[in-house]
Amino acid sequence: MHGEPPCRGATRHDHGTGLVQYSVQEALPMHDDRANFAFSIYDFDGSGTVDAIYLGDVLRALNLNPTLAAVEKLGGTKKKNEKKLKVEEFLPIFGQIKKDKDVGCYEDFLECLKLYDKAEDGKMLSAELSHTLLSLGERLSDKEVDDILKDCLDPEDEDGFVPYAPFLKKLMS
């Protein structure tokens, strides 16, 4: 493991073991310039900093989906101009969220919705789907749920059932 460090500013630590170690912050791969690019997009004034209110937006631009609580815990703010983040502060946050990426895939969510499919015919009650969106995971408002259902849900049948797999595909695309 000799050669260039995996990222800009990383230093090698041998400690006489023959093994090269990097700190967590230093181990962020520089080949992933997307993080730096996304950060620069939200650096509106070119100062090399991003307002912490945009931390979640920057992370979501990188195909991550942190909860609002996770963003706040890692330094995001609810008000503008409370705190500024430098790229050196952002990269470890990005690395942490990327490492902790605890987002289910289509198959995971499909298995969850199958629990509501009593007839095992690929359908569930529209009201149960709405209730599930309102009560599980990160809280959504009634309006957010209504918008999601309007955009992604096929029409109900005469008994109030909807096919959940097409809904899920539209939602996750």
**What is the value of pTM for the model shown?**
0.48
Rg from Cα positions in the chain: 21
- Taking only the tens place, the pLDDT of each residue in 5-23 is 334 433 444 444 444 333 4
SS3 at position 37: helix
Domains and CATH numbers, the chain: 34-99 (1.10.238.10), 106-172 (1.10.238.10)
146 backbone dihedrals φ, ψ, rounded to 5°: -60, -45
Each residue's pLDDT tens digit in the chain (173 positions)? 444 333 443 344 444 444 433 343 443 454 368 899 999 999 999 999 999 999 999 998 998 888 888 899 999 999 999 999 999 999 999 988 887 765 567 887 898 899 999 999 999 999 999 999 998 877 788 999 999 999 999 999 999 999 999 999 998 88
